[in-house]
Amino acid sequence: MSARIKATGLTLDVPIFLQREREPEHEGKGWAGIFRGAAFDPPRRRLTRLLDDLNFDVQEGDRLAILGRNGAGKSTLLRVLNRVYQPTSGSLQVEGSCQALLNMSLGFNGEATVRENIFLRGVAMGLRSSFLADQVEPILDFSGLRAKVGHRLRTLSAGQKMRLGFAISTSIQHDIMLMDEWVGAGDSDFMAKAKERMQNRVGGSKIVVLASHSMGLLRDICNKGIVLEGGRLVYAGDVMGSLKFYQGLMARVRAAGDAQDEGVEDSGAGAPFGAFEEIRAEGPGRFLVRGWMVDNHGVAHEGLVLEVDGGRYPAHGFERVMRPDVMRHFGLSSDACGFLARVDIPGLSSLAEMPAGLRLLGGVDTESADAELRIAPAVRAAVGRG
Amino acid sequence: MTDAQDVQKNVPIKHSARGGFWQELAISLRNPEFWAMSSWLDILVRARKSRLGILWLMAPALVYVYGLGFFFASMQGQPLAKFAAHVGLGAMVFRTLMSTIVGSANVFIASQSFIMDGHVRLTDYLLQSLAKSFFDFCMYLPIVVIALVTFRQVDPVGLLLAPFTLALLYVNALWISAVFSLIGARFADFGQLLSNASVFLFLLTPIIWYPDMMPADSTRGQLMRFNPFYHFVSLFRGPILGEPVEPMTYWFLGVMTVGGLVLATFAYRRYARFVPLWI
């Protein structure tokens, strides 16, 4: 069976409840007024248009990126595609079995055991219990919860619940996969497994729809993209064009005054990504690092820290390097995203003495730098031979 | 990685576009796994928290039949054996219906995470609340059987009629849960209202008293006859204990069943799609 998603004039109106904003001068000062207002003001009901006349067509083999600021309607659109919200008007055609990886820690019965919850979630996904009986063991293995099988679910940690939810949700292959950000959190051992499983699932899906702010991820996975703004479709095309359009949009938003716009602040602006491409010894205790780094809005930052054996060594002597190749790849608006910087590590005289587990972390400044840049094979080969 | 999961034939075509009430109900009945399992788990979990386990679930029946029954039997000068059977059958029908109603008013909100995860065949959740109330019904059975055995004047024909009355009861429970669950999803305080009203309705229904204390021409008698629970209880209990069933009861329940099912069909078609937005 072929898979396809076709939306024509898709519109969703949602009733929302507003609390009346009171004039401050009528109100008692401090918290008393707030609580009195909360107690006696009934909320008002108003219709809000979350999605406005969307038209798009996703064919088999497409990997669709949904871009947009916070509140632009990305998650809502995924819920509509998952058939949770019915469109107010317009039509939506979804062919193929569909699995959404939206909130995986939910949908459990906290008092039931892990094994019972595997069955509960499985049948809620529409699987047969006879089929699930064979799946219990692989799911337990994958989530690493074999020792917990008879425990009540509420005794598990949040991370363990997430692992269990992930293992169940991804236990079978569907035609269409809907994702809100890339899933997977937990210890590094589980992350490695989760990454492999996700790549398999994404590879095996006929259609993938991924909403994310992470440009590197979208560039890696998707081939098509749409950009939403205020519930409207403002761009549709290939993923490069979409990323470029989105970054243009973000640049205009920043120029218009980023202070009011919380979308810029909390949508992962402080989460740069990039590559650590080269490391050279420049003299005793001084090393030169080269690579590129950009955040999810296309802004290049200058905070770099080299982490060696758990010690943080801030970089200095930061130099910009033009990287038109990176700009083209991600559809950036500027090519000033490469860097060349120096790190002093007293006591290390050569690269051969550098331990292999080094990481280059990027961020807005050296204090807050915590995003690991991808390490190129050349760096790996250069260090840790001593 | 042990991937036995690429078994395409086991991959269901999960949610087709939403159908009408009866169509979805038919699919739910053909695929009972989700609602049967989730309601069973809810019940087990309730019992598991305590040391006495499933025995606790029988406690309400014991309290009603032999606690309240004993107290009010002596107050009204009735023999306990007769009064216990009267209270037992009445309370059993009342609790079953009332727990369906209260349960269904909250069922969508309680199942929020499943609904938001894409399991949107809402009839599944209705059947889940019916299954739970049926379990409550079964928990009454042992005590009621004891009460009937000690009463010793049970009408065997009435007993044969009981399953049919029960079926009618559940047809009504179905539409009630469909309508009330939609109202409960839209107005979160509806469940609260119902649990408050349940005490009043319990006392208004002739469970711990006899309906002949309220003649039809009195105001109180009319109030009693406006109470649907009265009709359900008397239709179920009357034939078994040899108590009279008023002709009005048949009319009342007949009209209510048909009217309710029609109402549920329309309400579900019109409002079911809003449920994910409301909760």
Among A residues 103-132, those touching chain B with beta carbons less than 8 Å apart = 103, 106-109, 111-112, 116, 119-120, 123-129, 131
The single-letter DSSP state of residue A296 is T
Query: Which alpha helices (DSSP H) does chain A contain, by range?
Result: 31-40, 74-81, 114-124, 129-143, 158-169, 188-204, 215-221, 239-255, 262-266, 324-330, 377-382
Instruction: Please give the residue of chain B at the shortest CA–CA distance from A86.
Output: B273
Query: What pLDDT, on the 0 to 100 scale, is given for residue A27?
Result: 53
**Which tens digit of pLDDT belongs to each residue from B94-141?**
988 888 888 888 888 888 878 877 777 888 888 888 988 888 888 888
Instruction: Please give the residue of chain B at the shortest CA–CA distance from A130.
Output: B10
% of chain B with per-residue pLDDT over 90: 2
Average pLDDT over residues A293-309: 80
Residue spans of the domains in chain A: they are 4-57+69-96, 100-205, 272-382
CA-based angle A270:A272:A277, to the nearest 5?
A: 155
Query: What pLDDT, on the 0 to 100 scale, is given for residue A266?
Result: 44
Is the CATH number of domain A100-205 3.40.50.300?
Answer: yes
Query: CA end-to-end span of chain B, whole Å?
Result: 39
> Taking all residues of chain A, what is their mean pLDDT, rounded to a whole number?
78
> What's the topology of domain A272-382?
Immunoglobulin-like (2.60.40)
The yes-or-no verdict on residue A79 having pLDDT over 50 is yes
SS3 A338: strand
**Which tens digit of pLDDT belongs to each residue from B67-82?**
888 888 888 878 888 8
Pairing of β A232-238 and β A224-229: antiparallel
The yes-or-no verdict on residue A268 having pLDDT over 50 is no
- ipTM of this predicted structure: 0.73
The yes-or-no verdict on residue A343 having pLDDT over 70 is yes
Average pLDDT over residues A158-169: 82
Per-residue confidence of chain B (279 residues) as pLDDT tens digits?
A: 333 333 333 333 344 445 678 888 888 888 787 888 888 888 887 777 777 777 777 888 888 888 888 888 888 878 888 888 888 888 889 988 888 888 888 888 888 878 877 777 888 888 888 988 888 888 888 888 888 888 878 788 888 888 898 999 999 999 999 899 888 888 888 888 888 888 888 888 888 888 777 777 777 777 788 888 888 888 888 888 888 788 888 888 889 899 988 998 888 888 887 888 887
Chain B residues inside the 8 Å CB shell of A14 = 277
Smallest Cα distance from B51 to chain A, Å: 15
Chain A residues inside the 8 Å CB shell of B18 = 83, 86
